[in-house]
Structure 1
């Protein structure tokens, strides 16, 4: 039988959860500030050590700090996945200070996704206190998710390998919905090289990268397929140096989102098939597929289990939705591991000035996570290698 922890058990812990969240939010951790992320990791490590009864491994990859707890000596069974970096630059806290007013929590990163870290530690701490066997649980808290996980992607895939489930503590979708699907994300940088010339005296001697990019923008945008949910969005564009010089260098950033691997690959092939339109222009395509889609089939079983757990706890039946934003859950799903995302805070405004989380929802989310973990860990052999593949 799995351990059942009622919502009331977590309601009593709400003041402690808010205190831990305040500590994390008031330590600003923008992804590109390696010192700030390392400082935030030290706070997360201290909170996690208290909750889990073990110190984490601190993994510094290309200067970026990540934390890993592998609980127990047994095979890996369940991956609990979080990140503690945010999109907010240092100094944002002065503009959006920590506050809890009428049950609304505010502060940079409170929703996306520092509350998720607190929920993970709270659920696991209570399970441990209740005598649950957490052998096989891995908790991974990364420090570069908001910039595409350049150093942690391989680490995430490694930790997910062989697990029966990955539970992602990203913030919920609108109204607390779980994220049962996520579009895959691809990021490109198209670099164009032309030839400079005086724009007034002899523009015909130049190769104009602004004109070249204008044609490429239209060709790239045409790769989108709205009917299939595929977006191809030209974003940042630069070209040239002065107003009286034919531009000889330019570049274009492109953001691609797709619901299926097939669509993601189709667009990638289209991007790689681009050719110059002006004689003398040269193209260089950088980047590519960053995160594969989290397709709904990867979350279906865990979503059904979440519904059963919610019913046992007297919580409303969770809703599921597919969103355009990608997360580290895309990596675990892409590795073939059943993945359920959006298990973190209820609120809104991720990456926006009105970012907020709802305090009264935290106990129910912690209870749901604890129930999911208990159910997954109660299944004998979950996460153990198959006999046929154990020696491969």
Structure 2
């Protein structure tokens, strides 16, 4: 398994480099073909390469991704290594070790029948080209197991995830000479300042509104609405005619996602003559605790039977493709991949001693849910 992991880590797959993702798909596809005895279907959608294996009539979906956040050349500064039971390298935790565990778990069974394996190439950027493929693969399945890394260094599973929405608020003003006749302009930057404060205050407003009917109570905590990127203007001596504000939204429930959208659409300009345009909207739906509850109970029982440490489930703020599978009604358990920490950071690593136990846990989950 370590040899297979090394092979995947040494093939860099930065999400933004579609040629690199295509090369990675070849390596991942070859590994899967060797272990599963079948070549995958290959989907290239808008230049991004995804892989899928389907055996019989799928009842279980195994879901992963082979792209990473690490720019090309990261192996020079973060080389592959295994020292003192710790494996390192770009993408080793998120989520190449999870792919190795996925393949070996399925290969360890007498037959892969009843299982669909889907590995996409754009998860790290929100799965824009693979969302339909993910949802199509999940519909009708009894379970989706997501091979993202564990929720913490102790191996907790991810039993809930916040949903995500992304917006861009475009402020339209009117240009004028900043020195000669600024009064003839409509300053989009000033209006953007008003909107940043208004957007930042939406989170508190939303918690108040939803708290009235009790719908904010969630293991995921409160929703967050955060202005992030901000730009305005064209030259130093011109009243800005245009400004843009990017907004990141994380919500615990579908109700919260709907209310957020309503509040964002109701933003109004404060500066006379300015006009707002709100673009974007819902992206990943939340993976609510109810979606994972029965599968987590089963996983806990299996871990006990295997003599493993008791499992813990955690709700996390980050989203994954498990949000999409849960969104179409497929029971979903996330965080079944590698145990380690430091995803997306210089400290990214995997605990080698946990690779085989997690693989055995997944193999038993597949066996008991595909029947």
Task: Give the structure-1-normalised TM-score.
Answer: 0.89
Q: CA deviation at 1:192?
A: 1.6
Alignment partner, residue 287 of structure 2: 294
| 1:134-170, Cα deviation, whole Å (9 max, x unpaired) | 2220000000011111011111000001000000000
Q: Matches of 2:13 and 2:38 in 1, distance apart?
A: 23
5+ long unaligned stretches in structure 2: 217-221
Aligned CA RMSD, in angstroms, stands at 1.1
1:34-183 matches, within 5 Å, as 34-72=18-56, 75-127=57-109, 131=110, 133-174=111-152, 175-183=154-162
1:194-273 matches, within 5 Å, as 194-225=173-204, 228=216, 229-273=222-266
Asked whether the equivalents of residues 36 and 112 of structure 2 are also in contact (C-alpha less than 8 Å), the reply is: no
Q: CA deviation at 1:242?
A: 2.2
Alignment partner, residue 15 of structure 2: 31
| 1:260-304, Cα deviation, whole Å (9 max, x unpaired) | 000111001111111222122222222111000000000000000
Q: Matches of 2:82 and 2:181 in 1, distance apart?
A: 64
Name the SS for the 1:223 alignment partner.
Answer: helix
Alignment partner, residue 166 of structure 2: 187
Q: Matches of 2:273 and 2:81 in 1, distance apart?
A: 58
5+ long unaligned stretches in structure 1: 1-16, 380-392
Q: CA deviation at 1:39?
A: 0.5
Q: Matches of 1:123 and 1:344 in 2, distance apart?
A: 11
Name the SS for the 2:228 alignment partner.
Answer: strand
Q: CA deviation at 1:241?
A: 2.0
Asked whether the equivalents of residues 80 and 88 of structure 2 are also in contact (C-alpha less than 8 Å), the reply is: yes
Name the SS for the 1:330 alignment partner.
Answer: helix
Q: CA deviation at 1:76?
A: 2.0
Alignment partner, residue 219 of structure 2: none
Q: CA deviation at 1:198?
A: 1.6
